[in-house]
Amino acid sequence: GNNTGRGTAVITRTRTKTRKPSLYRVLLLNDDYTPMEFVVHVLERFFQKDHETATKIMWHVHNHGVGECGVYTFEVAETKVAQVMDFARQHQHPLQCVMEKK
Ligand code: TYC
């Protein structure tokens, strides 16, 4: 409210510092060389997908060129991208993982 009832104006705080964090989509990109099983493993390991969901996402990326692994706040999305890129490089696969603001 804005008034106590005796003509005394009172400023009430309508928002105390809470702000919805921006969200980022983490995407996998298709390529011709990364093995399908490796992509499924990445989705299970870094994005907590079950085997069936991971397989569906992998086929979606394979068929459409790009697909969503998950939606996260900036720092979490950044970490996922770095982890996937490191893991792919360690295994010498050209798999690309990127993030985009929703
Ligand atoms: N196109 C790859 C193949 O045929 C499989 C693949 C799927 C690669 C998804 C990357 O993000 C990817 N082996």
Number of DSSP helices (H) and strands (E) in the chain, helices first: 3, 3
Tens of pLDDT, residue by residue, the chain (102 residues): 233 333 457 656 577 889 999 999 999 999 999 999 999 999 999 999 999 999 999 999 999 999 999 999 999 999 999 999 999 999 999 999 999 999
Q: Is 100 helix (H, G, I), strand (E, B) or coil?
A: strand
- Cβ–ligand 1 distance for 39 under 6 Å, the answer yes
Name which of 99, 80, 74 is nearest 19 in CA terms. 74
| Amino acid identity for residue 2 in this structure | N
Query: Can you tell me the distance from the alpha carbon of 25 to that of 68, in angstroms, rounded to the nearest whole number?
Result: 7
Tell me what pLDDT residue 14 has.
75
Regarding the beta carbon of 61 and ligand 1, being less than 6 Å apart is answered yes
Q: What pLDDT was estimated at residue 8?
A: 55
Pocket test for ligand 1, best of 37, 57, 58 (most atoms within 8 A of CB): 58
Q: Give the C-alpha separation, 25 to 47, whole Å.
A: 12
69 C-beta closer than 6 A to ligand 1: no
d(CA 86, ligand 1 centre) in Å: 17
Rounded to the nearest whole angstrom, what is the distance from the C-alpha of residue 33 to the centroid of ligand 1?
Answer: 7
Residues 6+ apart with CB under 8 A from 67: 27, 28, 57, 60, 61
Q: What is the pTM assigned to this prediction?
A: 0.87
Q: Which atom of ligand 1 is nearest to the CA of 29?
A: 11
